[in-house]
Structure 1
């Protein structure tokens, strides 16, 4: 789940990072600027090709300027002046802010963009200090992706391994393993994100001594149960096909929905749609208030029947949500299904188009909840992505309570729209890098500041983690990377950014050192290495450097569970042990 108890009741992580907050002026256009050189150019191709499915990007390829362009760039270097910057926040270890002099700047836009739906330009926070003079940026120094808080892949893998089966490598998404464990990152005061960047040296050995793990951590403000939030208008689209008769499917959903009905507020509204071979609205949008008994009665009438017409369920569900849409409320469809469409409209693209239209025209987002030992993981993930939502998976009553009682009410509020992250690696210190996971969330580098390109919708109380395998250059010293997150204000759609930088020296400590401040990083690494082991044998992905064997990984998880006293880390250790005890997982 994405609401587990933090794996570390520990002091906040020491980041070794510098932070800066940028407020974006959408009225002020920005030239296409090289993030490496700061030189205004017009035809440098900063492409977004790179590490699909386990490939490593190198940072040493360049397009060299010729003729007039080279002259213009040289002149630009001489004419560029330093700009003012935003507020400076120093990290706990005394390092300076992200806009210090002679530092690798935050990613720069390829073209100006304004708030979605406008043709106005926008500018990032301006950097203060001396601009490095260099050749145009290497083609592959950037990594850009939409934020994601899905956790379904990890939940489904746990269920599959508990049943004594090996998960299909295609269902393993490492970022969903990583993000199943909430981290102790510093929290921002208001909407938006804080940025934490840290890492450690791997134990790869030999040439692998140059390999590091770099963690980019983002956090939203804490979720307050008693805090102000907009009312919710939730349409539950519930699969009642024959396959949902299996214990732990429909019965589990009914129990969870009943508890959730009692937990929601009086000014929240609920609608219920059931589908099998056909779909029907069991309960139109109903304000809870004094109507909770009516909602409970509707939940109790649900019974498993025939086949799965997911297309009909989506159609009727969104029609019901649109009809009951409340202005000023969080309008959301909650799809609960095993996502095994077998009758009616089974074409995923057609179903996805309907969801995208409802999101675009009515602002209705989707939350997908997967159930069952046989589960259409890929389709559910696509549905949630198109619906600007996220997915999770429930396999038992504890999981379901976490989702429907803790997670769903918390996600009613929204702190950031269309959130994206971009990490710019310094080619002077980085030889290669690879983003672990996020294969389906990649964004073209030039679209980082294009606010018409979809990102992730994130609510309060969330942490988002991205982990990179990074090979540093021999003797690397100084700046290594700049991480920037960009999001739109959920109400005004004004763009904002937050950045942090990382120095090479912050990565010299070994990953498995006995340092409580590194427990969160170790949990992240164990989750990533475990996902990597479950994908072993699939030629589409290469193994991570420094990967321990499954028995070693299980031992490290056990030790960490003892140190953190975290039940979620204990469950991770048990799941790794199951994977190494006879289901044919490599490692």
Structure 2
């Protein structure tokens, strides 16, 4: 069974300013209430183990190493533990994008909206890439300054995004035109983004446009762009805000329009652009998507959610994307829009893998306990790893997926540490494929901060998310992830890596850490 690591002792803590501590405490309490409410509202067939994984605050399962520690026993004396970790792949980045927006506005993000995997997956990685569809697997790690604890990085990469030939795309834009979208940086940014994306698509691609407020309507049926780009631009330019937000009606109409305009051999995708603040009609992601489940399952229509706005319904948009076989991104300004709709266009509309799942097997001879950082609502039962009827994640070209683990090795342990495997279905034939990678203890870097730059950036992003969402106590300045040095040192290391990598994304990470640290 996956273990929870103990909270670092006071001797490892750096001091926060009192105001930051109080702010985090208040937000953490709110996040705990939200998580409890969310857990209570899960489907009746959701197991208690799944719910405890999501809340993260329940006691460790009986028989596990962590449970042994709670009873005052040595973890090594407790019954044998399960050393498998299985999860569906996730390429969402909206949580990190929205956190940056909130921090820039002078606020701390709600801990319940901080998903560490989305922080980590927001940055470029240095993994080798495969030649064809599917994944390469990279496994590396580094020791922390906590005795016996290491950070282990499992990196999965798809082939490079090719701006040349690709299958045609049939995209149904579903645009929120409710009153809340009238705020600057919402509908105006959405219109600019759609115009830009329309110009970047090929002549053989197709576009439809659906809007929703109190009701939903199809503004433009599926239209080939060759010779008709002007029609799309005209339809986008005419968009104006109206009244309430019936997001359920918009999604339902969007899938119906996508089904009517379905193209064989094309990538059929709904692109939902909204602030996610549903207040009319059905506001529950599961029931919304249940009504369109046939379109998803029978026709393979996937969902790409793009969030906008200073107030953003993150939970609803994230749930829609997870259940809609897709992913989410957040756009706060022109730079983000260019990245999502131009630079990352191929990976956001094309698929190279369906129902992708990862499973990491830690060697019980060397590993005492481990903890997967994030992926709280993407956990998959270990026995379902090779069950291709169980939903996984959809991934496009040019994507990387990173899973970071905190791993405590046994005293004097040496040898094999972990085997990481990824399983996916070919997007056309649905034939299953697998790939694996290995890690030995002697391959661990001696220290996180002497590891390669991209590993350090991964660690900084994870530690930052950990600090923002931790249930901090008055004595603690850091989160519970082993080796977390606190915001002050994280900011310094982020600035150093931004200078070393000359990466604008890392520079923005450093700025976000500074903003969090400066809330005195």
TM tier, shorter chain?
0.7 to 0.9
- Match of residue 148, structure 2, among 210, 214, 230: 210
| Residue number in structure 1 paired with 2:108 | 166
Q: Is structure 2 residue 320 aligned with structure 1 residue 386?
A: no
Cα 1:567–1:327 shift into 2, 3 Å: same
| Residue number in structure 1 paired with 2:158 | 220
Deviation of 1:412 after TM superposition, in Å, equals: 2.6
Stretch of structure 1 that moved more, 154-163 or 347-356: 347-356
Q: SS state of the match for residue 455, structure 2? A: helix
C-alpha deviations, 1:339-377, integer Å up to 9, x for none? 111112223332121243321122111000000011110
Q: Is structure 2 residue 514 aligned with structure 1 residue 580?
A: no
C-alpha deviations, 1:382-420, integer Å up to 9, x for none? 100111000000000110111112323333322111110
Cα 1:272–1:428 shift into 2, 3 Å: same
User: Quick check: 2:157–2:398 contact (8 Å CA) kept in 1?
Assistant: yes
Q: How does 1:390-469 map to 2 (within 5 A)?
A: 390-469=327-406
Stretch of structure 1 that moved more, 283-292 or 403-412: 403-412
| Residue number in structure 2 paired with 1:522 | 456
Q: Is structure 2 residue 124 aligned with structure 1 residue 182?
A: yes
User: Quick check: 1:192–1:220 contact (8 Å CA) kept in 2?
Assistant: yes
Q: SS state of the match for residue 257, structure 2? A: helix
Structure 2 residue runs of 5 or longer lacking an equivalent are: 1-48, 66-78
User: Quick check: 1:234–1:334 contact (8 Å CA) kept in 2?
Assistant: yes
Higher helix residue share: 2
Q: Is structure 2 residue 364 aligned with structure 1 residue 364?
A: no
Stretch of structure 1 that moved more, 189-198 or 345-354: 345-354
| Residue number in structure 2 paired with 1:332 | 269
| Residue number in structure 1 paired with 2:32 | none
Q: How does 1:288-367 map to 2 (within 5 A)?
A: 288-367=225-304
User: Quick check: 1:234–1:332 contact (8 Å CA) kept in 2?
Assistant: yes
Distance in 2, matches of 1:342 and 1:477, equals 56
Cα 1:225–1:59 shift into 2, 3 Å: farther
User: Quick check: 1:58–1:432 contact (8 Å CA) kept in 2?
Assistant: no
Deviation of 1:450 after TM superposition, in Å, equals: 0.3
TM-score (norm 2): 0.84
| Residue number in structure 1 paired with 2:471 | 537
Q: SS state of the match for residue 497, structure 1? A: strand
Q: SS state of the match for residue 548, structure 1? A: coil
Cα 1:547–1:510 shift into 2, 3 Å: same
Q: SS state of the match for residue 258, structure 1? A: helix
Distance in 1, matches of 2:302 and 2:497, equals 37
Q: SS state of the match for residue 545, structure 1? A: coil
Count of aligned positions: 454
C-alpha deviations, 1:294-326, integer Å up to 9, x for none? 110000000011110111111111111111111
| Residue number in structure 1 paired with 2:95 | 153
Distance in 2, matches of 1:355 and 1:215, equals 37
Deviation of 1:234 after TM superposition, in Å, equals: 0.3
Distance in 2, matches of 1:335 and 1:575, equals 27
Alignment RMSD, CA only? 2.1
Higher gyration radius (CA): 1
- Match of residue 200, structure 1, among 142, 150, 158: 142
Distance in 2, matches of 1:319 and 1:538, equals 46
Cα 1:380–1:52 shift into 2, 3 Å: closer
Q: Is structure 2 residue 84 aligned with structure 1 residue 142?
A: yes
User: Quick check: 1:155–1:394 contact (8 Å CA) kept in 2?
Assistant: yes
Q: SS state of the match for residue 202, structure 2? A: coil
| Residue number in structure 1 paired with 2:201 | 264
| Residue number in structure 2 paired with 1:100 | none
User: Quick check: 2:286–2:320 contact (8 Å CA) kept in 1?
Assistant: no
Structure 1 residue runs of 5 or longer lacking an equivalent are: 1-46, 63-136
User: Quick check: 1:274–1:282 contact (8 Å CA) kept in 2?
Assistant: yes
Deviation of 1:259 after TM superposition, in Å, equals: 1.3
Deviation of 1:49 after TM superposition, in Å, equals: 9.6
Q: SS state of the match for residue 291, structure 2? A: helix
Cα 1:241–1:260 shift into 2, 3 Å: same
Distance in 2, matches of 1:162 and 1:412, equals 29
C-alpha deviations, 1:544-578, integer Å up to 9, x for none? 11111101100010111111111110110000000
Stretch of structure 1 that moved more, 179-188 or 408-417: 408-417
Deviation of 1:489 after TM superposition, in Å, equals: 1.3
